[in-house]
A and B are shown apart, each in its own frame.
Chain A
Amino acid sequence: AQSVTQPDIHITVSEGASLELRCNYSYGATPYLFWYVQSPGQGLQLLLKYFSGDTLVQGIKGFEAEFKRSQSSFNLRKPSVHWSDAAEYFCAVGPYGGNEKLTFGTGTRLTIIP
């Protein structure tokens, strides 16, 4: 069965500092991987996705993620966070073309301190 683990429930970083959110997955075939962000009172917004090609993918808002097959990881990074990045971040995995089979992680809540 497929699964997603986000080991960090809550992370606090200072504004301007770098950020890395961890995501580990279990999937029996080639995974289709996503990062979504949910701001308070909002739905989920797609940050980036990966299925094939360059393992370092660029997303919106200055985020990037690196796919490492050997580690079954898809960690999200940002070199310098802004106060507006405070939100909940979800990693998801599924088959290509099979959105009804997506599995979401439990999320990482990001707090930014001045």
Chain B
Amino acid sequence: SAVISQKPSRDICQRGTSLTIQCQVDSQVTMMFWYRQQPGQSLTLIATANQGSEATYESGFVIDKFPISRPNLTFSTLTVSNMSPEDSSIYLCSVEETADSPLHFGNGTRLTVT
């Protein structure tokens, strides 16, 4: 299966700042997704990163807060903008290698906002 590298693995940021998380895959994949895992909770889909076009956001998530890029079939970034302590979470990149294949996940970025 695809090898997913996510950076940074963790960060501590001050409120009001922004952090960009990178997700690199070692092969071309059809779909890339970004999830949030809040403390003690399950995974919530933020958006689908579309190659060459704007991301598709889920209800409750907006582009101004979570801008996403996907310039090619192996790379995507998620930015958490104007952070507040409520943004403290694990952010996970996941990929679908081919249509109908299950999701594979990166190791996540543990973000703490102070």
DSSP majority for the B interface?
A: strand
With CB as the reference atom, state the residue of chain B lying closest to A98.
B100
Chain A binder among B37-45, B59-67, B78-86: B37-45
Answer whether A44 and B92 are a contact pair too, CB < 8 Å, given A104-B43, A107-B42: yes
**Separation in Å of the B49 CB from the closest CB of chain A?**
11
Answer whether A106 and B41 are a contact pair too, CB < 8 Å, given A43-B4, A99-B31: yes
Most chain B Cβ neighbours within 10 Å, of A34, A96, A102, A106 = A102
Question: Is there a chain A Cβ closer than 8 Å to B33's Cβ?
Answer: yes
**Separation in Å of the A7 CB from the closest CB of chain B?**
14
Across-interface contacts of B96 in A (CB, < 8 A)? 99
Across-interface contacts of A97 in B (CB, < 8 A)? 99-100
Question: Is there a chain A Cβ closer than 8 Å to B52's Cβ?
Answer: no
Interface size on B, residues (CB 8 A): 24
**Separation in Å of the A101 CB from the closest CB of chain B?**
9
Most chain B Cβ neighbours within 10 Å, of A43, A44, A96 = A43
* With A43-B4, A44-B105, A99-B103 already in contact, 12 other A-B pairs whose C-beta atoms are closer than 8 Å: A34-B102, A34-B103, A43-B105, A43-B107, A43-B108, A44-B103, A46-B102, A46-B104, A90-B43, A97-B99, A99-B33, A100-B56
Which residues does A use to contact B, with CB under 8 Å? 34, 36, 41-46, 49, 90, 96-97, 99-100, 102, 104-107
Which residues does B use to contact A, with CB under 8 Å? 4, 6, 9, 31, 33, 41-43, 45, 48, 56, 92, 94, 96, 99-100, 102-108, 110
